[in-house]
Amino acid sequence: MPTCNELLKKNKQWSAQLKEKTPSFFKQLSEKQTPEFLWIGCSDSRVPAEIIVNAKPGEMFIHRNIANQVIHTDFNCLSVLQYAVSVLEIKHIIVCGHYGCGGIMAALNKQRSDLVITNKWLMHIKNTYRLHQQEIEALATENERGDRLVELNVIEQIHALSHTSIVQEAWKNHQRPTLHGWVYGLKDGLINPLITLKLDDAINPIFQYQDVSTT
């Protein structure tokens, strides 16, 4: 495993290579960010957002947490969402989970007494598990059950985004963003698109805002 000094050395090499290839790269990058995508992904070190879609610096605004959750009481995530939608005016929001997710697998099992804070976070995934328990537990292996919960979790987060006043206001006033739910495969490096929601897609009335003129 690399040491911190080795990471700093690699940073210098990376910077030098980019400046040699495009001398004005960092000057242009420092002036303004204009990403078209907000990426909400898992914190797993094996799923680096820019790398798996071959994106360049500045192309994606990124938020990551355990098991790519969109929780309406998480002000960190909501602040990122609001800034991306209202200030950066992004056109697409991607929630990307991944097969073999440790957070999802943990939610399939009993809680560990030594992970008090993590348990609270995983409770949201357990609620999704509960809603689809019969379907999930009908699958033959733990890996199959985990992979299906990964998919269901991503779909649930896309709906959670559509239930925010931030997204509903942007749909009403700006006809954006489009919401995308994806799952990345650790074994083949490919993305499986599961769900897309956009302005014209219906939101369950119980989650609709009567007045979304203010966020």
Check residue 213 and give its pLDDT: 55
Residue 23, preceding bond cis, omega within 30 degrees? no
What residues contact residue 199 under an 8 Å CB cut-off, 6+ apart?
Answer: 171, 175, 176
Catalytic residue among 77, 96, 98, 148: 98
List of the chain residues with pLDDT < 70: 212-215
DSSP string, 15-68: HHHHHHH-TTHHHHHHH----SEEEEEE--TT--HHHHTTPPTTSEEEEEETT-
- Largest Cα–Cα distance in the chain? 57
pLDDT tens string 136-188: 999 999 999 999 999 999 999 999 999 999 999 999 999 999 999 999 999 99
- Give the pTM: 0.93
CATH number of 34-207: 3.40.1050.10
Query: How confident is the model at residue 215, as a pLDDT?
Result: 43
CB count within 10 Å of CB 15 equals 12
Question: Of residues 77, 101, 145, 180, which has the active-site annotation?
Answer: 101
188 catalytic residue (yes or no): no
Residue extents of the structural domains in the chain:
1-31, 34-207
Q: What is the pLDDT of residue 212?
A: 63
46 tagged catalytic: yes
Residue 77 catalytic? no
How far is the C-alpha of 119 from the C-alpha of 126, rounded, in Å?
10
Tokens of 43: 């914190």
DSSP state, residue 207? G
Annotated active-site residue 44? The verdict is: yes
